[in-house]
Amino acid sequence: MARVLAETHPDAHCELNHGNPLELAVATILSAQCTDQRVNEVTPRLFARYPAAADYAGADRAEMEELIRPTGFFRNKTDSLIKLGQALTERYDGQVPGRLENLVTLPGIGRKTANVILGNAFGVPGITVDTHFSRLVQRWRWTGETDPVKIEFAVGALIEKRDWTMLSHRVIFHGRRVCHARKPACGACTLASMCPAYGTGPTEPAAAAKLLRGPRPGELAAAAGIDPALAPSPAVAARAETPSAEVATP
């Protein structure tokens, strides 16, 4: 199934725009209960205003709150960002550490966020257990665990460590674009023949194809062996893509 996911989602990647570990840490904190698209709309001004950890540490709270207001929970997130800047400045010379045990001690950064940072900013393999990932690996019966840390270890035992980061992206892409929470596109899924939950959503190709989301619905349909013309247009599918607001707190 992991191999098929790699073929199905060759475009899988971290969808939070960033240029360095600090920017990714900030963007990931902002992504809690917010779509990646909305975060990416906010971060250019934020990154320009606060290019270093010391800038976050000394930020004017009201100014920062106004900048990140569109991401929701802006007061709590401002508190986390200021405290993150202070902790990095005081303990790590303003640099984001590249070790899990250090990252999880920082304000606003839990294990899930730490794995995002490690995998995408430092090249250290990590499994990101957001609600998409959790839902799909349980649906596929890769594990019966429900605790995110236990899910991480259970799936990590099944997949080679070097593939952990990309597997996370591919599963999350599949959850957003094909295997939706309430109505998965079973009849237009490349994993249909292997999935123990096949039939949870519509299995008739035409009905299933209409549920495909993201920028390449026709390609997803073709990969599943059905007529690409049955899928919605890329513009329609992209607008309807399952948002990352389904993500749990960092």
| Residue where the block lists tokens 């209409």 | 210
Structure tokens at 46: 């934020």
The angle formed by the CA atoms of residues 207, 14 and 200, to the nearest 5 degrees, is 25
Phi, psi of 9 (to 5 degrees): -125, 65
- In the chain, residues under CATH classification 1.10.340.30 are 21-121
79 a catalytic residue:
no
Distance CA 234, CA 217 (A): 6
**CATH number among 3.30.70.20, 3.40.50.2020, 3.40.50.300, 1.10.340.30, domain 21-121:** 1.10.340.30
Q: What is the pTM of this model?
A: 0.90
- Considering 36, 112, 161, 183, which one is annotated as catalytic? 112
pLDDT tens string for the chain (250 positions)?
999 999 999 999 999 999 999 999 999 999 999 999 999 999 999 999 999 999 999 999 999 999 999 999 999 999 999 999 999 999 999 999 999 999 999 999 999 999 999 999 999 999 999 999 999 999 999 999 999 999 999 999 999 999 999 999 999 999 999 999 999 999 999 999 999 999 999 999 999 999 999 999 999 999 999 999 999 998 787 776 655 544 433 4
Cα–Cα distance, 43 to 31 (Å, whole number): 11
Structure-token pair, residue 157: 């035992």
d(CA 96, CA 87): 10
Alpha-carbon torsion (117, 141, 12, 202), positive or negative? negative
Structure tokens at 154: 């259970």
Whether residue 147 lies in the annotated active site: no
Residue of 55, 130, 161, 183 with catalytic role: 130
* Packing angle, helices 36-49 and 21-30, rounded to 10: 130
